[in-house]
Chain A
Amino acid sequence: MGEYKVKFEVFEGPLDLLLYLIKKEEVDIYQVNLTRLAGQFIEHIETLRLLDLEVAGEFLVMAATLMYIKSRELLPVDQQARAEEDDDGLDPRWELIRQLVEYKKFKDAAAQLQALEARQENVFPRAPGRAEFAAAPPPRCEASIFDLVSAVSAVLQRFGRRGEADDIFEDKWTVSEKLEHLLRAMAEQPRMKFSELFAGAASRSEVVATFLALLELIRLKRVAAFQDEPFGEIVICRVEQPGALLA
């Protein structure tokens, strides 16, 4: 699997991931249990590394920060009180929450801007210019990288504990082969549920190869991943390209 290094640009950062995890837990930012959150965050990073995806430095820094926060909470209470503020006088828990709250405000503002953007598409002045573009496709919720990783994580769990032995012997699927396989499958069935992609997988490495192939196809814009309900089923759709050859 080393021969095909999938480069998936993750524009989202550690704050996005934290907000995603908090939203999934359905708790208020101010009520969040940082220890638990730290655990989930680390788990997510681990899955990314297992999938051989590049994990940006910022994620590792955040992981370190979370571990630091978590470790302080393990101190006996009297020591904790004294360590409440670290060297530069900042409470790292407060710092993190503050950063999350502020970022969330801007995320909400971005959503409002998006609504304005959509509205402007439907507003017509007196002498509109000539139409140059084809109709915009109806907007659908694209699944984020976190959603995809969460979903494949669930699939991987079917294969039980990490068996190093499996990975060595069952190496018969390469990412390139899975790429072609996926393209052929999508040619016949342009819409598939995420889980269907892995229905026939016999090993962890096959799941990983399939997943990496999927990410590559998304990057190449041959397919797209949609998720109509938050944290719901993900659907993979073929992207129609004029004149493109499929498979």
Chain B
Amino acid sequence: MELKLILEAILFSAQKPLSLKEIRDVFAGAPEHAEGDERARRLKRVKEEEVRAALEELAREHEQAGRSFRLACVAGSWQFVTEPQYAPWLKALVGHKARPPRLSQPALETLAIIAYRQPVTRAEVEQVRGVAVDGVMQTLLERGLIEQAGRAEAAGRPMTYATTAGFLEYFGLPSLEELPAADELRRAPAPQPEGLATVDPGLATAPPEQLAAPAEGKEPEGEPSPGPG
């Protein structure tokens, strides 16, 4: 398909990742350079959906062809990138990429909780980790990986947090849908009896109302109690 090849040419020359909107702008601006080329005029108002579908197909083709580079979508923007196994040569060619130091374990865990459960309050995060997360949250905010997303509908209207586009770029993810094992981790924890705190007093501070998990009002599953009869 012609559209695919044009997209390939555009992305081949692009100096930075391009969003669908930016790509459409390119198509909109092409006819004035076309000098009578019909194709440019025809494609001037190409739809976003068509572009996306063509890009996805193009990406699949490159991957199947087993080339040393592929078409990647990161945070919604598209770009050709090399495969990781060629890193030694690329590093020798361009020097190491400017990357901030790697994240610590506590930072990654906190980030994982926020990523899967967003929007989420600090207290909810602490409830899963079992420790205070102030320092780590500060680091994640400073690194631009999370941001304040709003306020929860609960007593005290606590701040909620969500991940940023920077988060997707940092991990090379096209979107939040592509988080590994998303279904399982997004799911609220095992059903809790209604209105009960799952947190021990003295650990993190969430009163039950702050927990985002929908109250399913069932008995907790556990060892069957040999009832007194």
Contacts and interface: CB of A to CB of B under 8 A. Distances in A.
A130 interface: yes
B82 A11 contact: no
The secondary structure that dominates the B interface is loop
Contacts, number: 179
A136 B102 CA distance: 9
A107 to B, nearest CB: 6
A7 to B, nearest CB: 14
B130 A116 contact: no
B96 A106 contact: no
A131 B228 contact: no
B181 A124 contact: no
Nearest to B101: A136
Contacts of A54: none
Contacts of A122: 84-85, 87, 90
Interface residues of A, number: 60
A103 B221 CA distance: 18
B177 to A, nearest CB: 15
Contacts of A89: 193, 196
B198 interface: yes
Contacts of B222: 91, 93-94, 97
B42 to A, nearest CB: 28
A123 B82 contact: yes
Contact of B200 (A65, A93, A98): A65
Interface stretch (A76-84, A153-161, A170-178, A196-204): A76-84
Contacts of A27: none
B36 interface: no
A91 B129 CA distance: 20
A117 B102 contact: yes
Given A114-B103, A124-B81, A130 B98 contact: yes
B225 A106 contact: no
B116 interface: yes
A89 B191 CA distance: 13
A103 to B, nearest CB: 6
Contacts of A103: 128-130
Contacts of B128: 99, 102-103, 106
B185 A109 contact: yes
A127 B90 CA distance: 11
Contacts of A61: 200, 202-203
Contacts of B84: 119, 122-123
Contacts of B170: 117, 120
A90 B135 contact: no
Contacts of B99: 120-121, 133, 136
Contacts of B17: 125
Contacts of B109: 106-107, 110
Contacts of B38: none
Pairs of residues from A and B, 3 with the lowest C-beta to C-beta distance, nearest first = A131-B95, A13-B131, A94-B222
17 contacts: A61-B202, A81-B226, A82-B228, A91-B225, A98-B190, A106-B129, A109-B185, A111-B108, A114-B103, A120-B99, A120-B170, A122-B85, A123-B83, A124-B94, A125-B16, A131-B94, A136-B102
